């Protein structure tokens, strides 16, 4: 996980919740649990990683891309996190 969405600890907590729930549901069958865990977490963690990479590219942009980024974000309300609500609203 890249640091741009402050998700490392959050993803670890989500991972532990999902693993605990699956272990209980599968009567501690580790093989089944890890297969289901991978399927359950695949898209969400992929989305987090991809979004963080995009944010990192934007934060470190230079030249015309950096100027366009600054122009686009300057009119944004800094208290509006609608764009990442999917991440912070939980699993």
* pLDDT at position 2 over 90: no
Q: Is the pTM of this model over 0.85?
A: no
pLDDT digits (tens, 9 = 90+) for 3-25: 888 888 889 999 999 999 999 99
Tell me what pLDDT residue 46 has.
95
Residue-by-residue DSSP string for the chain: --GGGT-HHHHHHHHHHHHHHHHHHTTT-HHHHHHHHHHHHHHHHHHHHHHHHHHHHHHT--HHHHHHHHHHHHTS-TT--GGGHHHHT--
pLDDT digits (tens, 9 = 90+) for 20-31: 999 999 999 999
pLDDT digits (tens, 9 = 90+) for 52-84: 999 999 999 999 999 999 998 898 888 888 888
Report the percentage of the chain scoring pLDDT > 90: 69
């Amino acid at each position: 996980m890249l640091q741009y969405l402050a998700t490392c600890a959050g993803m670890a907590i989500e991972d532990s919740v999902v693993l605990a729930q699956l272990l209980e549901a599968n009567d501690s069958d580790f093989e089944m649990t890890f297969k289901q865990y991978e399927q359950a977490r695949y898209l969400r963690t992929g989305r987090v990683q991809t979004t963080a990479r995009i944010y990192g590219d934007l934060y470190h942009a230079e030249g015309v891309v950096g100027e366009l980024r600054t122009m686009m974000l300057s009119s944004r309300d800094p208290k509006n996190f609608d764009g990442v609500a999917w991440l912070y609203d939980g699993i």
